[in-house]
Structure formats: C-alpha cells, structure tokens
Chain A
C-alpha cells in the first residue's frame, strides 16, 4: 500500500509530515462516507452518488453541513480532541469550494479517504495548503457528535 505518486505532488505538507497509508485504493467509498464511518457507499451530489433525499444535490459546503447535521453532527469551534465527541473537519479552498472531509480518531489522529485513492492516517494540517491552487485548501469548519 502506498500513496499514489501524483498525490505526493498535490499534498506537499502531507509528505513533509507524518502519515500512514491504511488501505488499498478503492472507489467504493469516498471521504464523506469514510468520515461518517461508511465504507460501502460513495456519498456525492451527482445522480450516481448516495445522498440524503431532502438535501439539494449540489456540491456545496452548505449542503454538506445539512448532510452532516442529519448524521448527528453540530458545529464546534476547533479540532481539539474531546473525549466525549467524535469530530469531523471540512476542508475548503480560498474561494469556498468544498474539497474534503476528515474524521478524528479517539487518539487524536485524523483519518481520511483520498477520493478514489487510499485511506490515510494523518495530521490535520498535513492536507492543508494555503496557496490559491491548493488541492484541498484548509480545514475551515469543524463539527462534533457523541461517538456512535
């Protein structure tokens, strides 16, 4: 199991820090699914994706927030580890484009499914990049819920 070479270039801060590849590449599920603990479906707003029926099928932060709220999450202020909660971080680019979702494990390490590629364990800032053309941008929104 290894990180695809292309993502080495796209995610320079990941390579510079600590991370671990935790699965084979698969397109059976994506980052939204993985953040919600689902490794069987691809959650997406295109017709081929799984998406709650009452949430508009448009890939926006607002619509993702509705999905996450339906799953029991509420907004919180930061990514700090809290024993009583499971946390999610939402990544956006500078222009507000929604790009990625990561989930915090009980030990404080973050876990992500990178699109159609692999799962990784990583630091929250490992996927961040402040440049305008950044792949994921930055973790800008945090949510929490009691552990399922």
Chain B
C-alpha cells in the first residue's frame, strides 16, 4: 500500500485537472492506499470556495471534496496566501481585514506552504494536477 500527497494547482472547471485529482484520490482510498492530504495551491485554491453553486444537472465537485474528506479522513489544505488574493478567505481572515465576506470553511483548512513540505516528506509519492 502506498501513501500519496496530491498537489492541485488548477481551478475547478477550467481544465479537467481538479476533477482528475478528485477521481484519483477516491480511487486511491477505495483501493486501501493512503492519501495523506490534498494541497490546493495557485489557482487550485479556488476549489475551496464555499460560494460555488453548481447546476443541479452537473457534477458538484465542491460537495465531492467534502464527502471525500469526511468519509476517508483526507485533509484538504489550502495555501493561505495563494487563496487570500483569489478571494478565498476564512471567517477569521475576513474579519481581520474588515471584509464582510468569507468563502473558506471546514473541512477545507487554511495553512502555510510548510504543511506541503510535511505532507511530501511523509508520502511515498507526490502527484500534481
């Protein structure tokens, strides 16, 4: 059995990458491999926006990430600096910058790049999408 870190640097829907990352993560945990964490960086941080409203006849990737995280205890980590400048902010950060809105919520976590280093260090493989 192998352990993986997934690095998602692509926005949802712009390309297939984020969806592929989700399918890979699901396949890995269903096959009894371990996904130590999914790290969202650059435009990939947009996957963490809780303000997404998916048309009812389309695949809801945001809901799928949440279900994956809850069912298989997969941490969803979002780089705080990459996210903040794209409008992906936690309630705490929004309050600190006097912004009335926030868009990042559990199970997505706001973390620093150091968490990516730890994930990679603890995994057999790093896969970027």
A and B co-occur in one complex: no
- Chain B interface residues (CB < 8 Å from chain A): none
- Chain A interface residues (CB < 8 Å from chain B): none
